[in-house]
Amino acid sequence: MGQFVVTPAAGKRLIARAVAAHPAVLEAMRSGTVVIVAGTTNGYVAEELLELIGQRDGFSRHRFFRGITLPPWMKTSETGRLPDERDFPGDVVITRGEWMKGMTLFDVVDDLSEGDLIIKGANAIDLQRRQAAVLIGHPRGGTIVAALQAAVGRRVGLILPVGLEKRLDADLMDLSRRLNAQGSRGLRLLPVPGEIITEVDAIRMLTGAEAEIMAAGGVCGAEGSVWLHVHGEGEEAASELIRSIASEPAFDLCL
């Protein structure tokens, strides 16, 4: 049995590798369309998928997000610290193995059909109920509502890469009802049906080993980390996999 510390950044890389090995993703990359909706975890996913098709050059995680959570002391784009919205490169749309540069989900969502895939991050996950949810700031629901129109309306696949740092001990349906109620203030919350992929799922998908959270937390760059207990068939492969991503540097807006 192995015990490993996985930082949030290492977790993002681990999840991305699992998405890049997913049979449905590989098939959609070959014969259909895959839309990687901008987000910090999905920046790693985009890197892995573009690497597979030899088109990673020209992609940067520098501004690959629409909304982001920052410490209260960090300056905003209004003071020049963060990249300006005008620098947003678009989502990553890959059609039959070709990166359609500069396009967004909104450019292609009406043309997606069964066999295509949307990869969209999440802001909260309830591991016990296998629920994921997305914070909503846009009055029309943003990218997730557009994605759901395709997923529910036309059976387009929806994959939700989400790190264990975003786990909640709450029923997200109940929580969303309170946050979305009339008279409430601030962000809203939308529970989302889709295939959830966490670090634990990634380890199982890539190696066959089982993993479970045994502790969490840390300092000096390990904030948000999880201790994973890995066991069962595939443990040796899982150990090698985790060691290969263990030193992934923290996410940096200046990359």
CATH of the domain at 117: 3.40.50
DSSP state of 248: P
Phi first, then psi: give them for residue 213, nearest 5 degrees: -75, 130
Task: Determine the pLDDT at residue 81.
Answer: 47
Any domain includes 130: yes
CA-to-CA distance for 113 and 35, rounded, in angstroms? Answer: 12
For residue 68, what pLDDT is reported? 84
Structural domains of the chain, count: 1
Spatial distance between the Cα atoms of 141 and 145, rounded to a whole number of angstroms: 5
| Residue 179 included in any domain | yes
Give 187's contacts (C-beta < 8 A, 6+ positions apart): 135, 136, 137, 179
- pLDDT digits over 200-249, tens only? 999 999 999 999 999 999 999 899 999 999 999 999 999 999 999 999 99
Q: Decide if pLDDT at 89 tops 90.
A: no
Inside any domain, residue 248 = no
Tally Cβ neighbours within 10 Å of residue 184: 11
pTM of the model: 0.93
Indicate the DSSP class of residue 83.
P
- CA dist 32 and 50 (Å) reads 15
Q: Please, are residues 64 and 43 in contact by the beta-carbon 8 Å criterion? A: yes
3-state SS class at 16: helix
Tokens of 217: 């937390």
Residue 51 lies inside a defined structural domain of this protein: yes
Residue 245 Cα distances to 7, 12, 205, angstroms: 10, 9, 16
Q: How confident is the model at residue 255 (pLDDT cuts 50, 70, 90)?
A: very low
Tell me the C-alpha distance between 228 and 1, whole Å: 10
Q: Which residue has the tokens 């066991």?
A: 231
Give the pLDDT score at 76. Answer: 55
CA dihedral in degrees (48, 52, 58, 59; nearest 10)? -20
The residue to which tokens 């369309």 are assigned: 33
State the pLDDT at residue 63: 85
Q: For position 80, what pLDDT does the model report? A: 46
Has residue 79 got a pLDDT over 50?
A: no
221 belongs to a structural domain = no
Q: Confidence band (pLDDT; 50, 70, 90) for 71?
A: confident
From 93, 222, 113, select the one nearest 157 (Cα to Cα): 113
Its domain, for residue 178, covers: 10-68+79-199
Instruction: Indicate whether 205 belongs to any domain.
Output: no
Rounded to whole angstroms, the Cα distance separating 120 from 104 reads 12
Task: Say how far apart CA 170 and CA 1 lie, in whole Å.
Answer: 30
**118 within some domain:** yes
Q: Report the sign of the C-alpha dihedral through residues 229, 234, 239, 245, in that order.
A: negative
Residue 94 backbone dihedrals phi, psi, to 5 degrees: -115, 120
Instruction: Determine, yes or no, domain membership for 228.
Output: no
